[in-house]
Structure 1
Amino acid sequence: MREGFQDDLDRLDGKLATMADAAAEAMRRATQALLTADLPLAEQVLSADDELDQLRAACEEDAYALLALQAPVARDLRGVLAVVYCAEKVERMGDLAAHIAGTVRRRHPDPTVPAELEAVFAELGRETAGMADRVAGLIRAGGQGGYAELSRTDETIDALHARVLATITAPSWPHDQRIAVALTLVTRFYERFADQAVSVSKRLDFAATGDLPG
């Protein structure tokens, strides 16, 4: 029974890792759409979000079935419960990428990001998508040891977020205030995406070790 349970848990982890892969790809595409005002690409991100929702539902269904049929304890129980917790967080990451794509849709055909902030948002996109990639790798590798690394990256995201806010609230800001409002929301989506990735890594570390980092 133990071997069969481990196979089921490995498959469950695989679904969760696939979700993290999808969240990373969604963030890459959303950022590209944001920087290029590419409406068709933004629509792809919005459409793909439904698939991530379905993956979350499948993860939860499988996890609850394992809990009911196998009654795991200790590390096994932490592993199953971590999938339920993390699936919700990763789905939220996908939602946040979709929110960025939704901004592209609302602003189209006008661009959202002015030229002087393009590099900052490109970096936000690279760093946050990389965090989702790292989450996927942690899930596939057993979940331990990523919290400190992702927390450091989160600090980078926070600094970029602050940089955007400082720019758009400066007296010298030359653009329409509607653009400033849109950018305030968008940079917050990146910041929250990073927070969710850190939260996932923290729970994965706990599932693997029984100790909550922080």
Structure 2
Amino acid sequence: MRENYNEQLDAARSDLAEMCKLAETAMESATRALLTADLALAEETISSRERIDTLAANWEHKAFSVLALQSPVALDLRIMVSGIHIVADLQRMGSLAIHIAELVRRRHPAHVLPTEVESTFAEMGRVAVGQAEATRDVLLTRNAERAAELKTADAAMDDLHRSLFTLTASPDWPHGVPAAVDITLLGRFYERYSDHTVEVAKRVIFLVTGEFRPEEA
């Protein structure tokens, strides 16, 4: 029975990695849609919501079933409790990527981004996708050192986010308030996506070490 239980735990870990991959793919395609004003790609990104939500619901159902039907020890409890929080973070990552695609759809056929900020958002997308990829690796390997490294990428995202505020708040900003609002909103989506990868990393560190320090940036 314990062998079957361990198989269930391994499957649960794989399911989390699959969710992370979906969120990663959604961010990659949303960023490409944003940079190119590609409506079809935006729609494709938005359609991924159902798959992410279904995986999240299924994972939580299986987690509660395992907890109810087995006799979990301390590590097993950490896996399941951490997993429930991780699912919420991964689901939110997918939603944030979809929000980017939805803004592309609302503004189509116009481009959302002025040329001055295209390179910044391309870099934000690169950082976000890289963080999601690293997060997926952390979920599969439970590598606490790799998890801690995600904070460095988060700092890079914060710097990019701040640069947008500097640009749009400048008296020389030529594109008006609506464009500044769109850019501020998009920047927040990327910044929050990055934050959620760090939250997942904290949960993995807790899973491995038993220590959780939510106050750490």
Do the two structures share a fold, i.e. TM-score over 0.5?
A: yes
CA RMSD of aligned residues (A): 1.0
Specify the alignment match of 2:28 in structure 1.
28
Number of the residue aligned with 1:193: 193
3-state SS of 1:29 partner: helix
Partner of 1:172: 172
Give the corresponding residue for 2:66.
Answer: 66
1:125 corresponding residue in structure 2: 125
Contact 2:22/2:52 (8 A) holds in 1: yes
Structure 1 residue runs of 5 or longer lacking an equivalent are none
TM-score norm. by structure 1 comes to: 0.97
CA-CA distance at 1:116 after TM superposition: 1.4
SS at match of 1:75: helix
After the TM superposition, which residues 140-159 of structure 1 pair with which residues of structure 2 at under 5 Å, given as runs? 140-159=140-159
Aligned-partner Cα distance in 1 for 2:167–2:6: 51
Is the Cα contact below 8 Å between 1:143 and 1:201 reproduced in 2? no
Which residue of structure 2 lines up, in the alignment, with residue 46 of structure 1? Answer: 46
Aligned-residue offset at 1:143: 4.7
1:208 Cα shift? 1.3
TM-score where L is the length of structure 2 = 0.96
Partners of 1:146 and 1:197 in 2: CA distance: 12
- Say how many residue pairs are matched: 214
**Stretches (4+) displaced over 4 A:** none
Distance 1:145 1:60 in 2: 27
SS of alignment partner, residue 146 of structure 1: helix
Residue pair 2:125, 2:190 contacting (<8 A) in 1 also = yes
**3-state SS of paired residue (1:145):** helix
Cα distance between partner residues in 2 of 1:76 and 1:145: 21
Shift of 1:83: 1.2
For 1:135, give the aligned amino acid: T
Aligned-partner Cα distance in 1 for 2:86–2:70: 20
Kindly state the Cα deviation for residue 3 of structure 1 after the two structures are TM-superposed.
1.9
